[in-house]
Structure 1
Amino acid sequence: MTWTSPSSQAPYRQLRRPTTDRMVAGVASGLGRYFDVDPTLVRVVFAVATLFTAGAALLAYPVMWFLMPEEPADAPAWPQPAQGPPPR
């Protein structure tokens, strides 16, 4: 069995609204970062879902805006640069 120390693992993903890459409130940008897709794709999917659900998906946006915490001002840039193995 292989065991890795917690320090060698990448930090877990957090669903947060970024302060820099946003158009309205950062919901689509935060979802894009979390799922590792382009935020524009998330916005398009959101618009199409709004059309197909007769506007019900539009109600989800303010709910997510309220529930998703905002990213701290001192958060690292995204995407984080690839890190090599930890020093020994």
Structure 2
Amino acid sequence: MIASKIEIQIDEKAIQEKFEQKIEDTLAAQIWFCDVERLSLLTGMSKRFLEENILNHPYMKAIERKKSRKRFYKASDALNVIDEITREW
């Protein structure tokens, strides 16, 4: 049997850069407010489905914030309320 030797070289700088990029991506994902478009992306539900089944619910109306005709929701509250609404199904 032939003895073999394996050497592994680790590029610490590349690992550090990848780690920092992952942290930045995670922090960017922490959103404060969201609109119907963002809720659609976060939940995987279509805008039409959200309008018909979620956004007209009294719980969602309670956390809704409007500016002109644009509706916003505090992201953490909205996801918690959607969780509550869908538990009722």
User: Which category of TM-score, normalised to the shorter sequence, fits these structures?
Assistant: 0.3 to 0.5
Taking structure 2 as the reference length, the TM-score comes to: 0.34
Taking structure 1 as the reference length, the TM-score comes to: 0.34
In proportion to residue count, which structure has more helix? 2
Larger radius of gyration: 2
Higher RCO structure (Cα 8 Å, ≥6 apart): 1
